[in-house]
């Protein structure tokens, strides 16, 4: 199969097109249905397929980019969807929609996500970003593929052996989505049957007038959380940092990102790392980002104790306004490229009916009364 070329993923640094193990992924998915043991073996093989050494290096992007904000005309919305204990963030731009993570694998979480996307009239995603292969981030991915047309998928090349991950890989491979992999350890895939685009930290791409820069993962993750795809979005002069679940434990991905990007991390909004855990929100990271708004996605009464009191103290000390899905439900911010404002969610439900449907019913009903 010939290599595909990225259209919307406009590459401005460090991109290399190469082939990837779609065939191996299909074998993983098929084997998973037959035998868990074979499935694990195949996942390992898939990992090996993803880990073919090559030489050429994949370096993080420059840390010194001081340019005037792009002039923009329109708005961008960031929806932190209440999916319980997990992440699912919808980014709506003039150029289409991006979904960052898909919530947890529980039925409640999947239902919440699908209902929200439906109520928001999202049927097509320009990008689906799966930050890392944990169930509270990829749990609803299969449902998303069932209900939306996904044009492009962005994920790291870090693999997992869970059934949720295998099902997710199967859904990706069976879709028509273009695949983009963030390389974590200078590996690349060589399989004639598959096409993927290999990126590394430093990659820049656009969706409408919103610009995204991939900041991580940089090095080989020793834990799934440190495989998180970290991105900073800018729209005009507005900015938000999406951190996934990256931590300073294990291989200290936070330390690597701080060392590589430092002051470039400063952002208006921080998607607080790992649901507010202490290992994902060091004083150094919060100081570098210096957010005015901090968004935390976590489940009400979750057993992990998220968010951690130390994280909340650090964010308050930094002067950030803290908002949490466990206390407030879904949270939506909109920017015109100058300032962020909190707005109501389109996916407001009353007796199980979304606001849009209620309005459609209310207007003719009112006309009939008069
Ligand atoms: Zn998580």
CATH number at residue 305: 3.60.15.10
Tell me, in angstroms, the distance from the centre of ligand 1 to residue 101's CA: 9
State the pLDDT at residue 112.
Answer: 97
Tell me, in angstroms, the distance from the centre of ligand 1 to residue 245's CA: 6
State the pLDDT at residue 185.
Answer: 64
Residue 288 backbone phi and psi in degrees, to 5: -70, -40
Tell me, in angstroms, the distance from the centre of ligand 1 to residue 249's CA: 14
Tell me, in angstroms, the distance from the centre of ligand 1 to residue 236's CA: 29
Spatial separation of the C-alpha atoms in residues 80 and 243, rounded to whole Å: 13
Spatial separation of the C-alpha atoms in residues 83 and 247, rounded to whole Å: 22
6 within domain boundaries: no
Tell me, in angstroms, the distance from the centre of ligand 1 to residue 136's CA: 5
Give, as residue ranges, everything with CB less than 5 Å from ion ligand 1: 136, 245
180 within domain boundaries: yes
Relative to beta strand 149-150, strand 178-182 is unpaired
Tell me, in angstroms, the distance from the centre of ligand 1 to residue 306's CA: 10
Tell me, in angstroms, the distance from the centre of ligand 1 to residue 85's CA: 8
Total of domains in the chain: 1
247 within domain boundaries: yes
146 within domain boundaries: yes
Give whole-number Cα distances, 70 to 66, 75, 203, 242, 262, in Å. Answer: 12, 13, 18, 20, 22
State the pLDDT at residue 191.
Answer: 45
Tell me, in angstroms, the distance from the centre of ligand 1 to residue 304's CA: 11
Q: Which domain holds residue 297?
A: 16-55+74-343
Cα–Cα nearest to 201, from 8, 20, 14: 14
360 within domain boundaries: no
9 within domain boundaries: no
Tell me, in angstroms, the distance from the centre of ligand 1 to residue 254's CA: 15
Tell me, in angstroms, the distance from the centre of ligand 1 to residue 87's CA: 6
Tell me, in angstroms, the distance from the centre of ligand 1 to residue 72's CA: 33
pTM higher than the cut 0.85: no
358 within domain boundaries: no
7 within domain boundaries: no
What residues in the chain have per-residue pLDDT under 70?
Answer: 1-66, 185-194, 345-370
Tell me, in angstroms, the distance from the centre of ligand 1 to residue 127's CA: 20
Radius of gyration of the chain (CA): 20
Tell me, in angstroms, the distance from the centre of ligand 1 to residue 212's CA: 21
């Amino acid at each position: 199969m010939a290599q595909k070329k990225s259209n919307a993923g406009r590459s401005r640094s460090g991109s290399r097109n190469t082939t990837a193990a779609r065939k191996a992924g299909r074998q993983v998915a098929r084997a998973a249905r037959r035998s868990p043991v074979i499935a694990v073996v195949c996942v390992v093989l898939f990992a090996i397929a993803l880990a073919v050494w090559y030489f050429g290096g994949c370096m993080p992007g420059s840390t010194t980019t001081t340019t005037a904000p792009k002039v923009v005309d329109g708005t961008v919305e960031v929806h932190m969807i209440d999916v319980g204990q997990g992440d699912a963030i919808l980014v709506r731009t003039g150029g289409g929609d991006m979904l960052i993570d898909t919530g947890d694998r529980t039925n409640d979480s999947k239902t919440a996500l699908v209902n929200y996307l439906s109520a928001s009239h999202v049927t097509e995603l320009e990008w689906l970003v799966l930050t890392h292969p944990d169930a509270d981030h990829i749990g609803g991915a299969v449902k998303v593929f069932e209900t939306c047309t996904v044009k492009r998928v962005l994920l790291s090349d870090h693999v997992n052996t869970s059934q949720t991950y295998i099902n997710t890989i199967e859904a990706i491979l069976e879709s028509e989505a273009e695949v983009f992999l963030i390389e974590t350890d200078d590996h690349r895939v060589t399989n004639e049957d598959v096409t993927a685009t290999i990126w590394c930290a430093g990659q820049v791409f656009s969706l409408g007038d919103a610009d995204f820069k991939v900041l991580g993962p940089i090095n080989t993750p020793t834990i799934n959380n440190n495989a998180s795809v970290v991105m900073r979005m800018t729209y005009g002069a507005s900015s938000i940092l999406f951190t996934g679940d990256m931590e300073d434990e294990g291989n200290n991905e936070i330390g690597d990102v701080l060392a590589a990007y430092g002051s470039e991390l400063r952002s208006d909004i921080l998607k607080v790392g790992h649901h507010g855990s202490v290992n994902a929100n060091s004083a150094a990271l919060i100081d570098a980002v210096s957010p005015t708004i901090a968004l935390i996605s976590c489940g009400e009464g979750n057993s992990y104790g998220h968010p951690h009191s130390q994280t909340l103290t650090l964010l308050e000390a930094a002067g950030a306004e803290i908002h949490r899905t466990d206390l407030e439900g879904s949270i939506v911010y909109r920017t015109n490229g100058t300032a962020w404002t909190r707005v109501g969610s389109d996916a407001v439900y009353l007796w199980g009916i979304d606001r849009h449907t209620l309005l459609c019913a209310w207007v003719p009903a009112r006309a009939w009364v008069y």
